[in-house]
Amino acid sequence: MTLNHKIVIDTDPGQDDAVAILLALASPEIEVLGITAVAGNVPLALTETNARKICELAGRGDLKVFAGAQRPLVRPLVTAEYVHGKTGLDGPELPEPSMPLQTTHAVDFLIETLMREDVGSITICALGPLTNIALALIREPDIAPRIRQIVLMGGGFFEGGNVTPAAEFNIYVDPHAAKAVYEAGVPIVMMPLDVTHKVLTTAKRVEAFRALGTKTGSATAALLDFFERFDEEKYGTDGGPLHDPCVVAYLLKPDLFDGRECNVEVETMSELTMGMTVIDWWGVTDRPRNALVMRTVDHDGFFELLTERLAVLP
């Protein structure tokens, strides 16, 4: 298989972030240049540790993990322990990592990498609040035209919000960063709740991970058993939405998803709708189309891909 994607994963693990990272590490088409951690689901000290735990679970203690922003650009940090547990990765017992945290700041790593690598060669997979990416774009605007694309999990439109009636968690936590990213002129592929709420971790699908009979398979099943308990109650579904792996699955099999180019604006002024992604799906304005917004997904195909890929990990 040929190498198609050089990526940096910006993340706040998070059980679903963890599965997204595992999917990337299991896929020969993808080279992970580094993982940058951001505060989000839990504070930064936990997200960077969790990122390292996941690398080691996948047998990839050689990867580089960088710590980034401790809080959003303007607003105070909002976390989601009520979903992810106290550690952010509640569920399996994962050992404390022995691989080091890099001493370079995540924002410096992003800038250095994008300035060094060929123009248009790097994809950023954004799985958390967009603080690190906005900071990099603000500090070194010359990186913008060098980014191949930002594929992000965030926002929602037809489906509404999950943390307020209007807003999805990643965008809500740092709406100012999200606004800066959507306005940067970088190609964006957006996986909103409209997609991720269709990708449900049903009991049968989780069993398939456990049945792999590997350390990664059992840990994934334990992560998802914990993760889905909150959303199953909230939405009354069999399983919870597996948000972040949609980003990596898009790189591997874009045909699993369908959407259209739209204008997306982020609300930063109104407390009522703070962090709402206003998507001009019907093209009722002449505002520029700044994102490919996904709306549908082949969820069976998605889980087939994920299960088949995770099977190659230890």
Which residues are known to be catalytic? 243
CA dist 120 and 114 (Å) reads 9
- DSSP H or E stretch at residue 252: helix 245-252
Grouping H, G, I as helix, E, B as strand and the rest as coil, residue 37 is strand
Cβ closest to Ca ion, residue 174 vs residue 244: 244
Shortest spacing between CB 152 and Ca ion, in angstroms:
10
20 binds Ca ion (CB under 5 A): no
**How far are the Cα atoms of 201, 268, 294, 296 from residue 191, in angstroms, in the given order?**
17, 20, 6, 10
Q: Among 13-21, 114-122, 133-141, 272-280, which window interacts with Ca ion (CB under 5 A)? A: 13-21
Q: DSSP state, 244?
A: T
- Angle (deg, nearest 10), helices 44-57 and 215-235: 130
Distance between CA atoms of residues 68 and 38, nearest Å: 5
- Contact residues for 236 (Cβ-Cβ < 8 A; gap 6+): none
**Given 14, 91, 259, 275, the residue binding Ca ion (CB under 5 A):** 14
CB of 58 to ligand BDR, least distance (A): 18
* Smallest separation (angstroms) from ligand BDR to the CB of 48: 15
Q: Which is nearer to ligand BDR, 111 or 132 (CB)?
A: 132
Sheet holding 188-191, edge to edge: 65-67, 30-37, 5-11, 122-126, 147-153, 188-191, 291-297, 257-262
Rounded-to-integer distance, Cα 129 and Cα 11, Å: 8
User: 169 contacts which partner out of Ca ion, ligand BDR, none, CB within 5 to 8 A by kind?
Assistant: ligand BDR
Binding partner of 80, given ligand BDR, Ca ion, none, CB within 5-8 angstroms per partner class: ligand BDR
**Minimum distance between the CB of residue 136 and ligand BDR, rounded to whole angstroms?**
19
**For residue 230, which amino acid is it?**
F
What does the buried/exposed string (b/e) look like for 103-127 if buried means 16 or more CB atoms within 10 Å of the residue's CB?
eebbbbbbbebbeeeeeeebbbbbb
Pattern of binders to Ca ion over 96-135, x per CB under 5 A? -------------------------------xx-------
Q: Is the Cβ–Cβ distance between 128 and 41 less than 8 Å?
A: yes
Among Ca ion, ligand BDR, none, the one that 83 touches (CB under a kind-dependent 5 to 8 A) is: ligand BDR
Choose between 60 and 243: whose C-beta lies nearer to ligand BDR.
243
Q: Which residues bind ligand BDR (CB under 6 A)?
A: 14, 16-17, 41, 80, 83, 127-128, 153, 162, 168-170, 243-244
Indicate which of ligand BDR, Ca ion, none lies near residue 91 (CB less than 5 to 8 Å, by partner kind). none
Which CB atom, from 48 or from 244, has the smaller least distance to Ca ion?
A: 244
Q: Give SS3 for 143.
A: helix
- What residue 36 binds from Ca ion, ligand BDR, none (CB within 5 to 8 A, per partner kind)? none
Query: In angstroms, what is the minimal distance from the CB of 47 to ligand BDR?
Result: 10
- Binding region for Ca ion (CB under 5 A): 12, 14, 17, 127-128, 244
